[in-house]
Amino acid sequence: MTAAAPSVAPVTDPATDRAHIARLYRAHLSSGRAVLGTVLGGMLETASEGAWVYTEDGRRYLDFGGYGVFILGHRHPHVTAAVHRQVDTHPLAGRVFLEPVAARAAEALAARTPAGLDHVHFVNSGAEATEAGLKLARAHGHTALVSTTGGYHGKTLGALSATANPKYQQPFQPLLPDSTAVPYGDTAALAATLTELGRRACVIVEPVQGEGGVRIPPPGYLAEVSRLCRTYGAFLIVDEIQTGLGRLGAWWGMDDEGVHDADVLLVGKGLSGGVVPVAAMVATTAAYGPFSRDPYLHTSTFAASPIACAAALATVEALDREDVIGRAKALGDQLLAGVRATCAPYTGGLVHDVRGRGLLIGLEFAEEQAVGELILELVGRGVLVNHSLNATRVLRLTPPAIAREDEVRLFLAALAESLRVVATRVG
Ligand SMILES: Cc1ncc(COP(=O)(O)O)c(C=O)c1O
C-alpha cells in the first residue's frame, strides 16, 4: 500500500496570486490586458474606499483617474447603504408590476436635469444610453447622424458610429449609414452640414470632450450648436456621461452655456455612486413620446433594475446633501492651479498644455510616450490617473470631489517627482 501524497499548503492564495490571475486573464479575458497589467506591476485591485484603491498586498493607491466614474469616490457610504438595503429586499425586478425605486430615482434625476428633460430611460452603461438616444432620434425621422471629431460616445455599433475615431471604427465598418463628423468647436462647419441635412440630422455632442483629451470648445459653442439645431429642425443629444453630475463643477456642462433646449441628455459614470453600473437617457416629453407610448419598443432585461436605481437615487441625494457640485468647482480650481504650477517648468518642452474645467483636467504632452511613462511613474508613487482614449498625448485627471487637501498635496508632490523623472527621458 502506498502512502497518500502529503497535502502541501499552497505558498500563495490562488485568488490573489498575481501570476495565476495574469494566466487567467490570458486564458479567459484578454491577453492584451494581461500584458498591460503586468507592465504596470502586476498588482491586483481587491478593495476600494473614498479616493483610494487597495491592492492584494495591502498597498493603497490614490485614485485620480477612474475614467470619470468616481465623483463621489469609491463606495460612497450613502450609496453603499442604499444598495445593501436593496440587495436584502428586492435587487432585480420581476418586471410585471410597477417598481417604486426606479420611479423615485427617475423623479430625483429629472428634478436635477435642465427644465423640460423629464423622462428617464435607465440603462446599464454609457454606450447603451447613447444607443437609446440614437434610436429615439430615428423614431422621429432624424436618421442622419452628425458627431464631432474626437468625440466619444461608446463602442456599441450605433454609439461607435458617433465615436469618430478611425482606430475603433475601422475594424467594424460598415457602421450606421449616413454618419458624419464635423470638427469639434466649429459652428460654421456644423451649419454647413445642417444646411445639407436639414431635419434629418441628429447631432450628438459633449460640452467638453473627455476622451477627446479634455478639449474645451470656444465660449458659446454649445449654445450655438443648440441654436443651429433649432434653426434646421435637427435633433440634439447632449452627451454628459462624463461631464455631468458635477464633474465640471456644475450639475451639467449645459448649465455653463445656458443651453436648455436639448432633446436628449445622456448621463452615466458618476450616476453609479461608485457602486453599481447605471446610466440614463433623459428626454423631453415631445422627444420621449415613442418610448413612453410603447414600453416594449426599446427594452433590456436588466435596465432600470432596483439595485441600479437604488444606487442612482442615493447618488443624486448625496450629490445634493454634500454640495458635491460646489466642492467639485472649488477643488477643481485649486487642483488646476496646482497642476499648472507643477507643470510650469516643463511648459513649452515636455508639457504642451494644461487645461480643465472643474474636476476634468488634461495634461497634454509634446510626445505620446510621455503619457505612458508618467502613468507608470505615478503608479510607482501610489497614484492612479488615466490616458485619453481619443487623444494619445493627453493624460486625464478625474479625481473625486470628496478628495481632501492632504490628498491633493500628495498628488501634486507625486506629479512633480514623476515629471522630473520623465523629463530626463522624454522631450
Ligand atoms: C462622453 C461619453 N459618452 C459615452 C461613453 C461610453 O460610456 P460606457 O463606457 O459606459 O459605455 C463615455 C465613456 O467614457 C463617455 O466619456
**What CATH number is associated with residue 366?**
3.90.1150.10
Locate the ligand 1 atom nearest the alpha carbon of residue 269 and give its number. 10
Q: Which pLDDT value is given to residue 225? A: 98
The verdict on 146 and 208 lying in the same domain is yes
Question: Residue 297: which CATH number?
Answer: 3.40.640.10
Domain boundary among 321, 352, 372: 321
Would the CB of 377 count as within 6 Å of ligand 1? no
For residue 6, the model assigns a pLDDT of 47
User: Would the CB of 125 count as within 6 Å of ligand 1?
Assistant: yes
The answer to whether residue 15 sits within a structural domain is no
pLDDT at residue 10 greater than cutoff 60: no
Cα-to-centroid distance, 168 and ligand 1 (Å): 14
* 6 in any annotated domain: no
With a 6 Å cutoff on the Cβ, whether 306 touches ligand 1 is: no
Answer yes or no: are the C-beta atoms of 204 and 147 closer than 8 Å.
yes
Structurally, the chain folds into a number of domains equal to 2
Side by side, which strands form the sheet with 60-63? 45-49, 52-55, 60-63, 383-384
Whether 215 and 364 share a structural domain? no
Ligand 1 contacts CB of residue 124 (under 6 A): no
Compute the distance between CA of residue 348 and CA of residue 265 in angstroms, rounded to an integer.
38
- 258 or 285: which leads in pLDDT: 285
| 338 and 405 housed in the same domain | yes
Q: Is residue 212 part of a domain?
A: yes
Do both 48 and 114 map to the same domain? Answer: no
* Ramachandran region, residue 95 (left: φ > 0; alpha: ψ -120 to 50; beta: rest): left
Cα-trace Rg, the chain? 23
In this prediction, residue 208 has a pLDDT band, given cuts at 50, 70 and 90, of very high
- pLDDT, residue 2, reads 40
The confidence score (pLDDT) of residue 14 equals: 77
Are both 136 and 155 inside the same structural domain? yes
Mutate to test the pocket of ligand 1, among 71, 238, 242 (most ligand atoms within 8 A of CB): 242
Asked if 90 and 239 sit in the same domain, the reply is yes
Compute, in angstroms, the gap from residue 266 CA to the centroid of ligand 1: 10
233 and 270 share a domain?
A: yes
How many angstroms separate the alpha carbon of residue 124 from the centre of ligand 1? 11
Note the pLDDT of residue 4: 47
In a shared domain, residues 49 and 196: no
What percent of the chain shows pLDDT beyond 90? 94
Residue that finishes a domain, picked among 277, 304, 321:
321
Whose CA is closest to atom 8 on ligand 1? 126
163 lies in the same domain as 291: yes
pLDDT digits (tens, 9 = 90+) for 290-324: 999 999 999 999 999 999 999 999 999 999 999 99
pLDDT of residue 7: 53
Calculate mean pLDDT across residues 184-213: 98
Q: Residues 134, 162: one domain?
A: yes
Which phi and psi angles does 392 have, rounded to 5°?
-70, -15
Which domain, by its residues, includes 350?
A: 36-68+323-425
Look-up of cell digits 450616476: 271
Q: Which residues of 4-14 are buried (b: 16+ CB within 10 A; e: fewer)?
A: eeeeeeeeeee
Whether residues 270 and 391 fall in one domain? no
Identify the band that residue 412 occupies on the pLDDT scale cut at 50, 70 and 90.
very high
